Amino acid sequence: MVFSSTLFLLYFLPAFLVVYVLFGKFRELKNWWILLASIAFYAWGAPFFVYILLGSTIIDYFIVQRLHKAKNQKRKRLFLVFSIGMNLGLLAYFKYANFFVDNFNELLYAIGFEQIGWTQVALPIGISFYTFQTLTYSIDVYRGTNKPLKHIHHYLLYIMSFPQMIAGPIVRFNLIADQITERKETIDDKLFGFFRFCIGLAKKVLVANVLGLQATEIMALPADQLTFLTSWVGILAYTFQIYFDFSGYSDMAIGLGKMMGFTFPENFNNPYNSRSITEFWRRWHITLGQWMKDYLYIPLGGNKVNSKFKLFFNLWLVFLISGLWHGASWNFVIWGAFHGSFLILDRLFLKTLLEKIGTVPSVAFTFLVVVIGWVFFSIEDLNGAWTYLGHMFYFNGWELVELSRETVAVLVLSVIISFVCLTKFGRYLQNVIYNEANVHLLRQVTYLLIAGVLFTFSLSSITGEGFNPFIYFRF
């Protein structure tokens, strides 16, 4: 089940909210209801894996309890290894087993040996987000950042809460531990949460889906039908599709959480306004970047290593892993290495140079780098990605596939929304829209009107169009 579906919008969400509100001030009943609804939400799309998910989460809970009670550091470290090993083992098997076996078979074929038989493993939706959240729990308890949760259903709620389970943001344990048992809920929060949810829904349905359809059609064209202009339109459509899709789902998750009294971390902050790739990764998928920094980059030595070579290698390694986290394919590894290389260049000279040439040129250059990177992210076939990239930089005429008026209008709108915050007026407008403080009657009415319009148009689009992809299936 996904948020942008009639099943969720017309049946699951209304039924969930009605029962949730009826529980009034009984927070524990509400927690149980969120947990049961989350299990049903996930089981709808993955009825087999939900049992593995529940079983491994329960086992992990007791491992971390033992970790916390262990009397010496050696035993604590042993239980931490058990927890990390189990969770990474699940991720490795379900997400990467096919990738490694396929590559091993190619190697065997190349050297003349018989390939091994293998039954393809189905990829459970959201396995990467699940793994990262379980890791934050065990590592934070090991570090003493937080004590473990006292009740197993609280831990299951943290891991399986349906708003952020399959598409993020990655909610670290230390940010939400107290909210499970002590959160406050207000009418203003519920209203703003619904408003934020509808903004995200509109981003996904009214913008990302329209651009995604065009991008899919162009990228499916035979190589001999691709032209310079067509290839650029296709990748630009994908560039804005992926942003409005990703950020839209984050908005929906944050909004749903707010309606239940939870405050989830922001995950996007106008990433295409970045003046360097370093800045881009402070604005794009913020919770992933922070996770990689705190749980991988800093343990590797961070900025305190004693040589530039080791510093640059660690940066590159972290982004190789980040690329592989996004998908089990060499394309994602190349995408991660591509961004890691520009982060190294930023450290060497590029960031200083970009700061000197002014805002517009530096934003334009950074945006170009990001767009080129999206080629490897969007096209799963590695040879196809290189071919597509070649058409982008080989001028062979101004021929362009026919674009509908809707596609052109949405593409122009996406450009305006993506870059408007480079202006003072844009930043003011964003602050007005997303500011939760000073909510008075006029703003409440305005929120309701805007949310109602966006919800109606989005629902109409979902029921009228057949194209509604879920691009997180690889994660």
Catalytic positions are 326
Amino acid at site 315: L
Taking a C-beta distance cutoff of 8 angstroms, is the pair 275, 363 a contact? yes
- Quick check: bond before 265 cis, omega within 30? no
CA 468/CA 460 separation, integer angstroms: 13
DSSP result, 285-310:
SHHHHHHHIIIIITTTTGGG-S-HHH
On whether the CB atoms of residues 258 and 193 are closer than 8 A, the answer is yes
Query: How far, in Å, CA of 458 to CA of 142, rounded?
Result: 44
Amino acid identity of residue 102, one-letter, is: D
* CA of residue 149 relative to chain centroid, distance: 26
In which residue are the tokens 């969720």 written? 8
Instruction: Give one DSSP letter per residue of 197-234, joined into a string.
Output: HHHHHHIIIIIIHHHHHHHHHHHTS-GGG--HHHHHHH
Residue pair 151/177 in contact by the 8 Å Cβ criterion: no
* Contacts of residue 285, Cβ cutoff 8 Å, sequence gap at least 6: 168, 246, 267, 268
Alpha helices in 111-221 (DSSP H): 127-143, 152-160, 173-182, 187-202, 209-219
C-alpha–C-alpha distance, residues 281 and 288, integer Å:
9
Question: In one letter, which amino acid is 303?
Answer: N
C-alpha dihedral (427, 433, 438, 444), degrees to nearest 10: 160
Q: What is d(CA 450, CA 370) in angstroms, rounded to the nearest whole number?
A: 32
Cβ contacts of residue 458 below 8 Å, gap of 6+?
4, 198, 201, 202, 204, 205, 206
How far apart (Å, rounded) are the C-alpha atoms in residues 405 and 386?
Answer: 30
